[in-house]
Amino acid sequence: MNTKNRFFKAWMVCWFVLTAGMGFADDGLRQAIIETAKRYQGVSYRYGAESPKGFDCSGFVRYVYRTAAGIELPRTSKTIWTSGQSVGIAEARMGDIVVFASKGVIHHVAILLDTNSVIHAVSLGPKTGVIISSLRDPYFGPRIIGVRSFLLPPE
């Protein structure tokens, strides 16, 4: 990253922090997260990876948050679930993290795009890599256990 890009990114982070009280930072950060996530659509799934060469689910979410917002997230789906603030599914906003489990075991995270879709890194047969999925998907929909936000002011 050249000096001009580093300066611009630092300036944007400062602007978001300074304008947080005015309600701009939250929306700006959320939009940056969505735009960054969509840039990696089609990147292959790679277990344990968190780079544009390949991602697993938590690696993808972590990389996007770090790149777009300078926010460091925990590394695994389970530790993401135990961090951040719990948000009701009805109150969830774009950029929040949707958490999934099967038989009580947390196994997947995704970034909420809108009320009906998420972007995530998956490895499910023909659905492999960073893709957008509906929350009504017969596999993912029933496995949603909650939403976490790292974009809300601490309680």
Q: pLDDT tens across 83-108, in order?
A: 999 999 999 999 999 999 999 999 99
CATH superfamily of 3-149: endopeptidase domain like (from Nostoc punctiforme) (3.90.1720.10)
pLDDT score for 6: 44
- Residue 39 phi/psi, 5-degree rounding, is -65, -25
Cα angle 130, 63, 89 (rounded to 5 degrees) comes to: 70
Catalytic residue among 26, 58, 92, 108: 108
Question: Which tokens is 56 given?
Answer: 């697993």
Could you read off the pLDDT of 115-140 as tens digits, one per residue? 999 999 999 877 899 999 999 999 99
Helix axes 57-69, 24-39, angle to 10 degrees: 130
Question: Which tokens is 98 given?
Answer: 């949707």
108 among known catalytic residues: yes
Catalytic residue among 95, 120, 147, 150: 120
Judged against a pLDDT cut of 70, whether residue 8 lies above it is answered with: no
Kindly list the domain boundaries of the chain, sorted by start residue.
Answer: 3-149
57 among known catalytic residues: yes
Catalytic residue among 57, 61, 87, 92: 57
